[in-house]
Structure 1
Amino acid sequence: MSVRVGSTRRNFVTVTGAAAALALAGNLPDLDFAKAGATGGVDRRDPFTLGVASGDPLPDAVVIWTRLAPEPLAPFGGMDRRPVEVQWQLAEDEQFHRVVRHGTTQARPESSHSVHVDVQGLRPWRHYWYRFRVGNQVSPVGRTRTAPAYDQSVPVMSMAFASCQAWWEGWYTAYADMARREHDVVFFLGDYIYEFGIDRGVRPHSNEDYVTRQTVTLDEYRNRYASYKMDPDLQAAHASAPWVVTVDDHEVVDNWADEAHPSAPPAQFLVRRANAFRAYWEHMPLRLAQLPNGPDMQLYRRIRYGRLAEFSVLDTRQYRSDQAYGDGSKFPGPDVLDPTRTLTGDEQERWLLDGWTASQARWNVLAQQNALARLDVKDGPELLVPMDTWDGYAASRDRVLGGAHQRKIRNLVSIGGDLHRSVASDLKLDFANPDSPTVGSEFVGTSISSGLDGMDLDPGGLTLLRENPHIKYGNFQRGYVSCTITPRQWISDYRVVDRVTVPNGTVSTRAKLLVEDGRPGIRVVAGDPAPHRAPARYGAGSPATT
């Protein structure tokens, strides 16, 4: 279990008041946004090198984001340590002929000159376009969309989800494809950056200090985000649709658990966690409700899309018990079944189950970081499962899936990441019994770039298919998942890239998977689901990549 050091948390000094100013938007007089320029002594460097983004859509509001950084890899992004006035506009058309909201805010140095504007008073289920201006410099234009009204019947929505984007291990070709498909919303499920240092990579400049250095301080985390967000394909994906984001481990450090990590004593680790969370919030399109308070950050929340879908976004890092048996892949002994150990924490677990009880949505979606399904990663009769996934917290999983089953939750779908591979599974009430009731369906997406090119099926993927009959599809290439949701069906297109170690790879749909309303479980409608599924052969296995 994690060591509790509440007094350490209480000693953190918060800057909520200063940061709150970032999201307060005053009114501007009518003006010609594109032509209005500043006079005299204006910094003519482009401050919008990190692009624009929007996020957490509501029926009447959306957050729009940018960060001023004319020299993104320089200290403080090349900005002076003073507040800067930023003007913004949101319009009903891409040419900004019909501007419906506009205002000013301040980009402040204590938040790395980031801007989070919570634009309110919008119409539900409508596209908008937005942009920013500083002096005579105008940002790129972003496209966003509000959520439907809570009681609205939605005939169809499109969404995508992604995770794990190690910059040095490949180009973001998948994001270019995602941007072209113009989804209604994108969910990012963790590992936006990687904190550890490296000694080489496939991209130019992979040996630069800003890539090879491990991130520990606030400035180092800020620099790492800047280096990732300079990528044009990532910027295009952010500008194409609102994003809903949550963290996994590498936003802080590999496989951290609550206040525990072997790299440092708890009090010292919490300082690092506070640095990581601060930089994360500064670079994501998040509301003030997600502003960190030292090492604490409120990330679990719900996003509703009318009566069609309700997304419960989880945080499976801040409240979890320490990994059992020293982490890694192990036999699930008594500690795994201990009901006092938790992946979500008691409060978040109650929030999730209570929300499902009250839900009126056709599809109830668990947007989280990991595989909920069991992953036996060893060939033969011996059971070996990862301790960092839900497998290492079987009591937590049993309470969640058992709670969904008892409540007769309609159309439970889990989306996850982290594995650096695609895995689609039926969610069983008892994974040890293939005849156990199917409670829901799970789509785990592969990485955007982490793990290099990969292949259709590696030895670890073959083992997963042989040893886990509930797994219906597997693949070990890079990419993301694009989903079309209607009241009658959920279709997941697994979009894969042939190569990410070179620019401009080819993206294609490797498999098209279907879940029908009222029929939990996955059906493959296009693509080869498990080309090498066969009776288990016994011998050494290859663990799943995590």
Structure 2
Amino acid sequence: MDNISRRSLISAGLGAGLVAAWPGAAVAVSTADDAGLRTDPFLLGIASGEPWPDGFVIWTRLALDPIAEDGLGGMPTRQVPVAWEVAEDAAMRTVVARGVEQARIETAHSVHVELKGLRPGREYFYRFRTGRHVSAVGRTLTSPAPHETPAALAMAFASCSQYEHGYFTAYTRLAQDHPDLVLHLGDYMYEYKKDSYVIGGGNPRDHQGPETSSLAGYRQRHAQYKSDADLQAAHAIAPWLVVWDDHEVDNNWADEIPENRDAAQLNDTTERFRQRRAAAFQAYYENMPLRASSVPAGFDMKIYRTIQWGQLANFHMMDTRQYRDDQLAGDGWRKNVAERLAEDRTITGAEQEKWLLDGFKNSTQRWDILGQQVFFAEKDRNQAPEIDDVSMDGWDGYAASRRRITQGWVDANVRNAVVLTGDVHRNWANDLKVDYKDPASPVVGSELVCTSITSTGNGSGSTTDPVMAWNPHLKFYNDNRGYVNTKITKDALSADFRVLDYVTTPGSPVSTKASFQLQDGVPGLQARG
């Protein structure tokens, strides 16, 4: 670190600064003129993400009125300087890097700072300041050096937080469990207008604004979610790796195809849906701690990437929406749709599939973990062997694509393959096979499916689903809300399914519904505890 230059390396695009750290950071300023902001502009909290061995991204977005209809958070039209600091201690006494970024109206006064030059495998703390206003302090980490195998990694993952369906208590409980890394697997926000997606008993909270379709609408909705104190607590505790699913844009969208052709929601033509997608992607980047490599280019935005955790794990973060073929026969469950088996069907697109297969071939890590969106294992709702009844929106609707990915990690001799999944608002734990129709086909990996943070409301608490009787690779089911905690070591990956008693009122306690363990080099789930 002593040889690192003191000059700042400013990267292009949407105000993201790539900054080298240096001992003491003596030449940088620690405050910034607030351009006359009279009230606290840090109402959307702070976040970090994308850890690498010598840095990470830190993020904030200024807002004085988060739910302003124009999506600009009640901020002035001028740019506002925002100072940032990174320290080795929570009291921010030992500062190792500091600087100033400009929060601009063109990017909804969001700030992304990409840190470089820090030490690998370390805990750091950060905060922002503009004038007399100072943000909360966040905790983050750098990943280990590429050649190192850390003793353990505490990683939590979550998905599906529908604001209207309940309180985000699960995010606070996740933060209280003190993970070192958080994966969010999609449906971070929902696009619906108020009361168009209603749970039994009625929604306890309301969405602001119409269904999101414009840039102003997506910005407003993200700001409403980011204003939630529980969500802010989870962002402040650890770095996040994020990927979207469908609701960040439009329910069940597929590439350039919306759920429904609807002129009122910019969905009536391909070009108008591209405009909607571009608006959604712009707002997503503005509100997430992503690198400049994910800056949108119109209606395209690359979010698939691999983050290495030393020699312990690869996190292959995937995108199963932007490049997929359209769902067959509608988006839901369908019987005996032969086209789903077609060899040319893809849920990843050719380029992303090659990236993932090459990643398997080049992996030297103990665990190769796929962070992705939709149900991966086969789940047939019909018991009759001659009839299959499967979801066209999950990997069952793209069976050849699933087989190529699974066979790819088998052929590459991946040591331990684990798929992490969101989307379905239920907990599942599944063994994975190349051929689910052959009872003798070996288990070659495992899938852990997290339930929702709030989506569909409180849940029944059930641990029984009848389909498990004729899908023996499906090992666990639960209908509660919550998240999953994992502990990853070189010898094992353990997973605790953490559940809440209720979400329609705040403050639920959390408990562990079930625990599983994966042993290094031994495919398949083992119940624990």
SS at match of 2:220: helix
Q: Which residue in the other structure is 1:193 paired with?
A: 189
- Matched to 1:522, the amino acid is L
Q: Which residue in the other structure is 1:223 paired with?
A: 220
Q: How far does the alpha carbon of each residue in 1:231-269 deviate from its partner, in whole angstroms, 9 at most, with x for none?
A: 101000000000000010000000100111233221111
Kindly state the Cα deviation for residue 23 of structure 1 after the two structures are TM-superposed: 2.0
Q: 1:24 & 1:310 partners in 2: Cα distance?
A: 23
Kindly state the Cα deviation for residue 204 of structure 1 after the two structures are TM-superposed: 5.7
- Equivalent residues in 2 for 1:32-51 (5 A)? 33=30, 38=33, 42-51=36-45
Q: 1:249 & 1:171 partners in 2: Cα distance?
A: 21
Inter-CA distance 17–319: structure 2 relative to 1 (3 Å threshold): same
Identity between Structure 1 and Structure 2 (%): 47
Does 1:305 pair with 2:301?
A: no
SS at match of 2:16: helix
Q: How far does the alpha carbon of each residue in 1:379-420 deviate from its partner, in whole angstroms, 9 at most, with x for none?
A: 555321000000000010011111112222111000010000
Kindly state the Cα deviation for residue 378 of structure 1 after the two structures are TM-superposed: 3.6
Q: How far does the alpha carbon of each residue in 1:123-180 deviate from its partner, in whole angstroms, 9 at most, with x for none?
A: 0010000000011100010000010011102111110000000011011111111111
Q: Which residue in the other structure is 1:252 paired with?
A: 249
Kindly state the Cα deviation for residue 439 of structure 1 after the two structures are TM-superposed: 1.0
Q: How far does the alpha carbon of each residue in 1:65-114 deviate from its partner, in whole angstroms, 9 at most, with x for none?
A: 00000111123101111111110000000111110000011101000000
Does 1:161 pair with 2:157?
A: yes
Q: 1:332 & 1:519 partners in 2: Cα distance?
A: 34
Of residues 57, 60, 64, the one that matches 1:66 is 60
Farther-moved stretch of structure 1 (257-266 vs 436-445):
257-266
SS at match of 1:254: coil
Q: How far does the alpha carbon of each residue in 1:252-310 deviate from its partner, in whole angstroms, 9 at most, with x for none?
A: 00010011123322111100000000000000000110000011001100010111111
Q: 1:242 & 1:361 partners in 2: Cα distance?
A: 21
SS at match of 1:373: coil
Inter-CA distance 97–203: structure 2 relative to 1 (3 Å threshold): farther
Q: How far does the alpha carbon of each residue in 1:197-225 deviate from its partner, in whole angstroms, 9 at most, with x for none?
A: 2326766652x643xx2111000000000
Q: Which residue in the other structure is 1:543 paired with?
A: none
Q: Which residue in the other structure is 2:436 paired with?
A: 431
Q: Which residue in the other structure is 2:354 paired with?
A: 350
Q: Which residue in the other structure is 1:480 paired with?
A: 483
Q: Give the conservation status (yes or no) of the 8 Å contact 2:28–2:98.
A: no
Q: 1:97 & 1:32 partners in 2: Cα distance?
A: 15
Kindly state the Cα deviation for residue 30 of structure 1 after the two structures are TM-superposed: 5.1
Q: Give the conservation status (yes or no) of the 8 Å contact 2:431–2:525.
A: yes
Kindly state the Cα deviation for residue 467 of structure 1 after the two structures are TM-superposed: 2.8
SS at match of 1:289: helix
Kindly state the Cα deviation for residue 457 of structure 1 after the two structures are TM-superposed: 2.0
- Equivalent residues in 2 for 1:388-467 (5 A)? 388-457=393-462, 462-467=465-470
- Equivalent residues in 2 for 1:112-191 (5 A)? 112-191=108-187
Q: Give the conservation status (yes or no) of the 8 Å contact 1:86–1:134.
A: yes
Q: 2:156 & 2:109 partners in 1: Cα distance?
A: 29
Kindly state the Cα deviation for residue 25 of structure 1 after the two structures are TM-superposed: 4.9
Q: Which residue in the other structure is 2:6 paired with?
A: none
Q: Give the conservation status (yes or no) of the 8 Å contact 1:24–1:105.
A: no
Which runs of no fewer than 5 residues in structure 2 stay unpaired? 1-9, 262-266
Kindly state the Cα deviation for residue 19 of structure 1 after the two structures are TM-superposed: 3.6
Inter-CA distance 332–312: structure 2 relative to 1 (3 Å threshold): farther
Q: Which residue in the other structure is 1:8 paired with?
A: none
Q: How far does the alpha carbon of each residue in 1:305-328 deviate from its partner, in whole angstroms, 9 at most, with x for none?
A: 111111111111111000012221
Q: Which residue in the other structure is 1:97 paired with?
A: 93
Of residues 39, 51, 60, the one that matches 1:57 is 51
Inter-CA distance 378–334: structure 2 relative to 1 (3 Å threshold): closer
What is the TM-score of this pair, normalised by structure 1? 0.89
RMSD of aligned residue pairs (Cα, Å): 1.9
Q: 1:65 & 1:21 partners in 2: Cα distance?
A: 11
Q: 2:11 & 2:113 partners in 1: Cα distance?
A: 15
What is the TM-score of this pair, normalised by structure 2? 0.92
Q: 1:56 & 1:141 partners in 2: Cα distance?
A: 18
SS at match of 1:454: coil
Q: 2:428 & 2:467 partners in 1: Cα distance?
A: 9
- Matched to 2:46, the amino acid is V
Q: Give the conservation status (yes or no) of the 8 Å contact 1:22–1:108.
A: no
Q: Give the conservation status (yes or no) of the 8 Å contact 1:171–1:449.
A: yes
Which runs of no fewer than 5 residues in structure 1 stay unpaired? 1-15, 527-546
Does 1:314 pair with 2:310?
A: no
Q: Give the conservation status (yes or no) of the 8 Å contact 1:26–1:105.
A: no
Q: 1:37 & 1:288 partners in 2: Cα distance?
A: 23
Kindly state the Cα deviation for residue 17 of structure 1 after the two structures are TM-superposed: 9.2
Of residues 499, 502, 507, the one that matches 2:505 is 502
Q: 2:520 & 2:205 partners in 1: Cα distance?
A: 48
Q: 2:428 & 2:506 partners in 1: Cα distance?
A: 26
Q: Give the conservation status (yes or no) of the 8 Å contact 1:493–1:511.
A: yes
Q: Which residue in the other structure is 1:10 paired with?
A: none
Kindly state the Cα deviation for residue 452 of structure 1 after the two structures are TM-superposed: 0.3
Inter-CA distance 243–427: structure 2 relative to 1 (3 Å threshold): same
Farther-moved stretch of structure 1 (505-514 vs 428-437):
428-437
Kindly state the Cα deviation for residue 331 of structure 1 after the two structures are TM-superposed: 2.4
- Matched to 1:78, the amino acid is G
Kindly state the Cα deviation for residue 341 of structure 1 after the two structures are TM-superposed: 1.1
